[in-house]
Structure 1
């Protein structure tokens, strides 16, 4: 883990602390004995009798997430604007949920900058408290795909809408509380070198094409390649899923994994990649010609002068988002809300734009993005990333309209992971 600590000067603006929302089984068991005895109220009672009051809680922000969102520059600017000290811990994607559930949410962090697929297990473990929509300044400026039921761009499981709001908020129709406030999003595709593949690629089918045997790398995640197999064959009409692409049935999983094992035994795949830096190197050096990649990988290879492209895929993109999720035990609700609001404004969206990451509040951040640079000299970040003035896959609307599935926690996740390990071991 890499820890980035920003503890800058400036007076902290205290806001009334809000109690954690909801009573989880974990919190009830921890608190019920003391509450029954009245011990929890004793310090306040004694303070009242003595004419003194408890010291004010001083807000702070302690956040955890991957290195592409937990950034020292963003935390420093947040502290400069709000006066709230901020501490960030960078961890690997696969470590985020285990470290949080194993106790990090209780005393290490207030916020996880969580990916949408991670929300379900965090909620199931009782480690989150809801955030009130009314506290999010620019909520109505969020893209409809995140906040409106049935909006264009949602997948067959209703994601990301169903990942964002609490079950109670959805069932009641009030839509007044969320588990996560979206901050960045994108749609994943394939990255490739045009000089090594002989032209443009427009389908996940390229990953399985025998002409590229031995020159393909796959991301080592059960939530990626199996879904790309299903998207490929659903797209050609050769297969119909029983579940959905994002949450496949056991038969769907078997179909995808058996296919991947067959292609692996035929020598299709050069390697599986886990590390961001390693992924850059294998595409940059030409060890592989194509891979299912993250956009920043391709951007970095292109910046090194190689003809690297992030593909426009006819089957649609593997969509995802990250956002602010709040610890069930955090005393810093107001700091977390301030941080979520900060991410919707100009500085943070401009800071991550050249990674290919987009804000869910483009109308709010537009002015800052128009004043920021892009990879192309003379083209600002707004025109490049949002209007399609240089991005391989067109405008933000082009990408948002081509969702094949959103990253999620599949109903058959344990079975999917076990079959993925069959593939890894094959």
Structure 2
């Protein structure tokens, strides 16, 4: 077992080839990335903890894995840089007075409580080690913005606007795609939700009935399951707007296609990734697993992911591995003093560009909703699948 690779299960959001190579070089042992879609990662994370050593996924899935006994607690005293982790997962807010956001927040499941459940009361033992996060919205081709809409006045409602009919793309993940549609429906006053982070059955029915009708009328041009599919869609003539994540936007920009990441006036949909130890982690691999967790807090991988728009949970450490120009653009909200590259080395940010939405503080202080799993998630998924097959 000692010579077997450390197995990491996760998505293309964080498990980049560049990250894997750097981890192997820095840590000096074999590491194997198993990259799957978000839904597949969650399913296999729950059902097959014997097939991975580390689960790399979003916080909104962690409670399911904990309840299923698929992951074990992480000892914060074995994390050399735990004190450097920012307040977002420790207190729930990036800054005092910032919006907490609706839905399942990372703070809600960060710590192991005395009764063995997950909660917000700080303790030595963690459900996950926070790695990277972002404030997501949607992206669009600014060359085709309708005259009725203007830069600086972007709204989630654009996703259900007639002006974008037939040109809207959506992610198939029910915990992400539905969040975008909830925010769009609320922004257009289509539905009055009591709690956007936890819909009741009647609200799910009302929303999905309307979305099915939108789909039958041809409003949605494409549903995609991963970043590659979203890039392909936006590269086509019919692809104009949708839940394009930062890696897709950087890829499109690297290929010369103009893409603007919206800064919605209503606020952002946020997410946070974390690393969990499998409940089946072999004791012989434990030291390597903790070395990998500590490496993620060191700032080295955070710098790679910063170049595709993601924020590190240890920004002070990450700053050491970014140039001043990179830090100013990606984190400080300042104009780029030179052209900047993505993780693959392609120039994607022109000189004098300013990141949409501003600084790390500005963007993460305007969270309207977190990616979440709702109380009626099983019912929501059934209705969501009806939409996908309609």
For the criterion TM > 0.5, the same-fold answer is: yes
Q: Counterpart in 2 of 1:85? A: 30
Contact 1:149/1:161 (CA < 8 Å) preserved in 2?
Answer: yes
Distance 1:171 1:273 in 2: 33
Q: How far off its partner does 1:160 sit?
A: 1.3
Of 119, 131, 145, 1:183 maps to 131
Q: Cα–Cα, structure 1 residues 333 and 252, in superposed 2: closer, same or farther, change >3 Å?
A: farther
- Pair 1:268-2:211 in alignment: no
Q: How far off its partner does 1:68 sit?
A: 3.5
RMSD: 2.5
Contact 1:214/1:267 (CA < 8 Å) preserved in 2?
Answer: yes
Contact 2:140/2:260 (CA < 8 Å) preserved in 1?
Answer: yes
Distance 1:126 1:284 in 2: 42
Q: Counterpart in 2 of 1:384? A: 329
Q: Counterpart in 2 of 1:422? A: 386
Of 151, 161, 170, 1:209 maps to 161
More displaced stretch, 198-207 vs 320-329: 198-207
Q: Counterpart in 2 of 1:343? A: 296
Q: Cα–Cα, structure 1 residues 320 and 172, in superposed 2: closer, same or farther, change >3 Å?
A: closer
Q: Counterpart in 1 of 2:323? A: 370
- Pair 1:295-2:227 in alignment: no
Distance 2:120 2:241 in 1: 46
Contact 2:110/2:120 (CA < 8 Å) preserved in 1?
Answer: no
- Pair 1:123-2:69 in alignment: no
Contact 2:157/2:187 (CA < 8 Å) preserved in 1?
Answer: no
Of 206, 210, 213, 1:259 maps to 210
Distance 2:171 2:103 in 1: 23
SS at match of 2:321: helix
Deviation per CA, 1:8-30, whole angstroms, max 9, x where unpaired? Answer: xxxxxxxxxxxxxxxxxxxxxxx
Deviation per CA, 1:314-353, whole angstroms, max 9, x where unpaired? Answer: 1221111111110012123332222122112232111122
SS at match of 2:199: coil
Contact 1:232/1:315 (CA < 8 Å) preserved in 2?
Answer: no
Contact 2:109/2:120 (CA < 8 Å) preserved in 1?
Answer: no
Contact 1:216/1:268 (CA < 8 Å) preserved in 2?
Answer: yes
Q: Counterpart in 2 of 1:229? A: 181
Matches within 5 A, 1:9-408: 61-103=6-48, 105-106=49-50, 108-148=51-91, 152-157=98-103, 159-168=105-114, 173-198=121-146, 199-200=150-151, 202-235=154-187, 239-242=191-194, 244-330=195-281, 331=283, 332-370=285-323, 380-389=325-334, 390-408=354-372
Distance 2:80 2:99 in 1: 24
Q: Cα–Cα, structure 1 residues 195 and 364, in superposed 2: closer, same or farther, change >3 Å?
A: same
Instruction: Answer 1 or 2: which has greater helix percent.
Output: 1
Q: How far off its partner does 1:301 sit?
A: 1.5
Q: How far off its partner does 1:385 sit?
A: 0.8
SS at match of 2:198: coil
Distance 1:149 1:190 in 2: 24
Distance 2:189 2:216 in 1: 25
Distance 1:206 1:268 in 2: 12
Distance 1:249 1:329 in 2: 36
Contact 2:100/2:367 (CA < 8 Å) preserved in 1?
Answer: yes
Contact 2:59/2:274 (CA < 8 Å) preserved in 1?
Answer: yes
Deviation per CA, 1:20-48, whole angstroms, max 9, x where unpaired? Answer: xxxxxxxxxxxxxxxxxxxxxxxxxxxxx
Distance 1:188 1:329 in 2: 33
Larger Rg: 1
Q: Cα–Cα, structure 1 residues 173 and 346, in superposed 2: closer, same or farther, change >3 Å?
A: closer
SS at match of 1:117: helix
More displaced stretch, 313-322 vs 84-93: 84-93
Distance 1:191 1:281 in 2: 14
Contact 1:119/1:163 (CA < 8 Å) preserved in 2?
Answer: yes
Q: Cα–Cα, structure 1 residues 312 and 130, in superposed 2: closer, same or farther, change >3 Å?
A: same
TM-score, structure 2 length as denominator?
0.84
